[in-house]
Amino acid sequence: MPLTHFDAQGQAHMVDVSDKEVTDRVAVAAGHIKMAQDTFDLISEGRAKKGDVLGVARLAGIMGAKKTPDLIPLCHPLPVTKVAVELTLDPDLPGVQVQATVKTSGQTGVEMEALTAVSTAALTVYDMTKAVDKAMEIGDIRVLLKDGGKSGRYEAK
């Protein structure tokens, strides 16, 4: 399957979706941020000096999804109809699991919006707690589900 963001000459271009059918679309992405146990405790006990880390990160993730076409050069601006960002404390990491669900009715999918929401939320956790833990690791960011459109359904294994 050829890469759609390149023309016949190999030049990057925005894909023309004008002939595509408008369908309901959804994407779910996930990732995590690992941290020191002390940082995990700071967040879970609500002692971060900058405030509610998970609440602010949730809002940042939602905002990130809505700003995706401003960040990713060839991404179409879409009428996003839903963005949900869940941040779950995971003592086994220790850290925070992040999951984002994005929906639209449109001519192209919302995988990039879901991935951007996860990334932005994780970066916000880092930003709010970096004063106590600069060694945090953001990782495993991936699409878990994509549904709608010509290519149909994808679920990560």
Q: Decide if 127 is catalytic.
A: yes
Which of 90, 127, 133, 147 does the annotation list as catalytic?
127
Q: How far apart are CA 125 and CA 68, in angstroms?
A: 19
Catalytic sites, residue numbers: 127
